[in-house]
């Protein structure tokens, strides 16, 4: 490079900066480090020893759990369900730690502890920038102490008059079979999870809720399963005159139709003609969203929805399962017509109590042609010589069109008395769950206990005999009886057709587990 001064060129030497050494010594340990990348004149090892990026993070904490419902308190006042060592519980623990939001979480996991120690330990890995261009990663442990605290919902369940809504389920029948089936449906769909108390009363069950919307949701669940009539009422508890805020208690009365499976029903003639011109004397073979009826003489079926049922004049069946009589099949001849799982047949039967006394037999038409054989035992209703105090049945007898169609015997279902006597109800390889409920103080428990046990045993027999009935239920394995059922008590194998028919396959049974709010029912 040159500059022109007074017409002459004078060369100027190029200025060069002196070269400096980039290596410096650590101010703490004296180790050589790169001065251009050094953070505070410290080596990486000294940074790890002197800088603690987890200094502002809480190392100990307390978790509150309700021992009744096993929910955890999530600040400020929310109770959440979290299983041990689950993602939900891990997220709850991380939210409880103060100062964790200032660093970056790389990894977090549980450290195994004894369940009875009531200690929860976490291993957390974090990252943070200690100096400009220097990022540190550190792993540390946090310990939580598990403390018990009762949640507000469980507090209300142990306190009287704290509910805000009640659903009173009632059915005016002399047995509890419908409630037992309804209980299994409630358990399978967990429809009782919002209840704060369940009380068993005469002719029904009361479900108490802490909020109105929970009760309305439960009522919608009932109406989607069974034909019920719901009535609503409310009671004013308190009122604030300054803000006009009122507090109410709501009561929902849910009345189930007083007709059950296997009941004999006498329909009004006008109603029978309007639902398909079916015979007025029919059997109820199922209770779903409507009352399902069948004529055993023709296999014709008809459904009565809940609105039509409550508008009709009839209310109760003329005979229920308590009026069933045991018959012996003397002869049976299938006629050929079949519908669903039924086959029409002519059957000759005799009462079990008449064997050895007289030779009286009865000829009837039945829908059980596919399951009955000569010598089998069958349960049915005795129509000959029986007086029914029912106006609809009297109208059928006086009618010229239907009086001749009244049979001597109406067969309902096949019975298995020899299998019951040999095995008994204790030989079932399955069991059901029961809801944890409170019994009313007015219930005469000693007098009603035998009747309740009889109803429950009758329900269990219906479950193992009817595949369609148990399709909507949850049955569990009974490990106590699995080994004993491999062989009869007398050492004889049980491989009869009746035994195979009543045996529930193992693939239809669920593994036993403990569930909140459910009691185990032992057979």
Q: What is the mean pLDDT of residues 286-293?
A: 89
Contact 180, 186 (CB under 8 A): no
Three-state secondary-structure class, residue 272? helix
Q: What is the mean pLDDT of residues 503-509?
A: 76
Q: How do residues 368-387 score in pLDDT, each as one tens digit?
A: 998 899 999 999 999 988 88
492 pLDDT above the threshold of 60: no
pLDDT for 133 equals 67
Q: How far is residue 124's CA from residue 105's CA, in Å, rounded to a whole number? A: 7
Q: What is the mean pLDDT of residues 404-430?
A: 75
Q: How do residues 33-46 score in pLDDT, each as one tens digit?
A: 766 655 567 777 77
Q: How do residues 399-412 score in pLDDT, each as one tens digit?
A: 888 888 889 999 99
Q: How far is residue 471's CA from residue 137's CA, in Å, rounded to a whole number? A: 56
More confident residue, 187 or 479: 187
Q: How do residues 126-178 score in pLDDT, each as one tens digit?
A: 888 777 667 788 889 999 999 999 888 777 767 666 788 999 999 888 888 88
Residue 381: HSE in the Cβ half-sphere, 13 Å Cα cutoff: 23
Contact 164, 210 (CB under 8 A): yes
Q: How do residues 81-134 score in pLDDT, each as one tens digit?
A: 898 889 999 999 998 888 888 888 889 999 999 888 889 999 999 888 777 667
495 pLDDT above the threshold of 90: no
Q: What is the pTM of this model?
A: 0.68
Q: How do residues 252-265 score in pLDDT, each as one tens digit?
A: 999 999 998 899 99
pLDDT for 47 equals 76
Tracing tokens 């007709």 back to the chain, one arrives at 259
- Give percent of the chain above pLDDT 90: 26
**Beta bridge mates, 510:** 476
C-alpha 117: how far from chain center? 32
Q: With bands split at pLDDT 50, 70 and 90, how would you rate the model's confidence at 488?
A: very low
pLDDT for 485 equals 54
Three-state secondary-structure class, residue 60? strand
């Amino acid at each position: 490079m040159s500059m022109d001064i007074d017409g002459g060129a004078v060369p100027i030497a190029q200025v060069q900066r002196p070269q400096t050494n980039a290596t410096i010594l650590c101010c703490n340990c004296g180790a050589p480090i790169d001065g251009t990348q050094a953070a505070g004149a410290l080596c990486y090892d000294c940074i790890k020893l002197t800088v603690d990026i987890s200094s502002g993070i809480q190392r100990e904490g307390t978790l509150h759990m309700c021992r009744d419902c096993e929910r955890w308190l999530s600040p400020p006042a929310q109770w959440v369900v979290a299983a041990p060592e689950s993602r939900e519980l891990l997220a709850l623990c991380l939210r409880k730690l103060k100062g964790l939001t200032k660093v970056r979480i790389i990894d977090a996991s549980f450290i195994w502890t004894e369940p009875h120690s009531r200690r929860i330990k976490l291993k957390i890995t974090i990252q943070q920038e200690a100096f400009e261009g220097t990022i540190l990663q550190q792993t540390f442990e946090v310990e939580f102490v598990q403390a018990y605290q009762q949640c507000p919902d469980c507090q209300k369940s142990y306190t009287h008059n704290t509910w805000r809504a009640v659903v009173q389920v009632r059915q005016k029948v002399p047995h509890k079979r419908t409630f037992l089936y309804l209980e299994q449906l409630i358990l399978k769909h967990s429809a009782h999870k919002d209840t704060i108390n369940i009380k068993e009363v005469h002719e029904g069950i009361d479900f108490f809720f802490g909020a109105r919307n929970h009760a309305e949701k439960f009522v919608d669940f009932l109406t989607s399963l069974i034909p019920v009539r719901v009535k609503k009422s409310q009671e004013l508890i308190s009122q604030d005159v300054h803000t006009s805020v009122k507090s109410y208690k709501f009561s929902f009365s849910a009345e189930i139709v007083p007709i059950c499976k296997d009941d004999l029903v006498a329909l009004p003639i006008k109603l029978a003609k309007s639902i398909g011109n079916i015979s007025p004397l029919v059997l109820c073979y199922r209770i779903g969203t409507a009352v399902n009826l069948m004529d055993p003489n023709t296999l014709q079926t008809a459904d009565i929805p809940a609105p039509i049922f409550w508008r009709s004049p009839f209310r109760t069946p003329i005979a229920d399962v308590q009026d069933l009589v045991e018959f012996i099949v003397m002869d049976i001849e299938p006629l050929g017509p079949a519908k669903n799982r039924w086959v029409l047949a002519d059957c000759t039967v005799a009462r079990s109590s008449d064997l050895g006394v007289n030779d009286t037999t009865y000829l009837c038409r039945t829908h059980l042609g596919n399951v009955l054989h000569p010598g089998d035992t069958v349960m049915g209703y005795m129509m000959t010589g029986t007086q029914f105090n029912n106006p609809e049945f009297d109208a059928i007898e006086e009618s010229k069109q239907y009086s001749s169609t009244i049979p001597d015997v109406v067969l309902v279902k096949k019975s298995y008395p020899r299998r019951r006597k040999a095995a008994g109800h204790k030989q079932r390889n399955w069991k059901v769950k029961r809801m944890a409920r409170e019994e009313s103080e007015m219930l005469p428990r000693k007098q009603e206990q035998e009747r309740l046990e009889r109803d429950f045993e009758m329900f269990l027999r219906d479950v193992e005999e009817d595949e369609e009935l148990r399709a909507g239920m949850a049955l569990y394995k009974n490990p106590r009886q699995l080994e004993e059922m491999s062989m009869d008590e007398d050492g004889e194998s049980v491989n009869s057709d009746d035994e195979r028919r009543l045996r529930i396959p193992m693939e239809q049974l669920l593994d036993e587990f403990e569930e909140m709010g459910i009691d185990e029912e032992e057979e």
